[in-house]
Amino acid sequence: MLTKGQIQQIDTYLESIGIEYFDFRQELTDHIAEEVEQNLQPRKSVDFNAAFEEAKAHYPTKDLIEQQFIAKLDAYNPLKEWKYFNGKRILNSIAVYTAAILPAFLISEKNLNFLLLIYVLFSAIESLRMIFPFGRNINRPERN
């Protein structure tokens, strides 16, 4: 079992070579500490520094930097626009726009104010429906 100081030495080494991503550095610290422990167990005559140098040989700095870069990319995976705007959403948007604008061309000028009133009321109702979940089941904690 390694001491806190020895584990801190491994962590400091990883930080000094440029491993800044905390999660990745902690994972590497665990792997290297485990390998150092395995090197120390069979040979009692080997000291920590020799076992640590032997473990460092299995983790080249260039490979660690590349793996850190990949780990950062995997951790940050935003929703891409091309995934969000799929064909179904595009067709729905066109249909809603057409349904909203088409009556303005089909209704006479004197009834446009009535159409505007309908649009405003519909928008207000939809906004309220989104804000307040009327009649929907909400997970509420049970009262004792």
Contact 112, 104 (CB under 8 A): yes
**pLDDT tens for each residue of 91-110:** 888 888 888 788 777 777 77
pLDDT at 96: 84
φ, ψ (nearest 5 deg) of residue 17: -90, 0
Of all helices (H) and strands (E), which one includes residue 68? helix 61-75
Which structure tokens are listed for 45?
């005559």
Report residue 134 as tokens: 């009327």
Tell me, what's the pLDDT at 56? 87
Q: What is the DSSP string of 1-25?
A: ---HHHHHHHHHHHHHTT---HHHH
pTM: predicted TM-score of the whole model, two decimal places:
0.49
Tell the burial category of 3 from Cβ atoms under 10 Å away from its Cβ (0-12, 13-18, 19+): exposed
The pair of structure tokens assigned to 62 is 């260039």
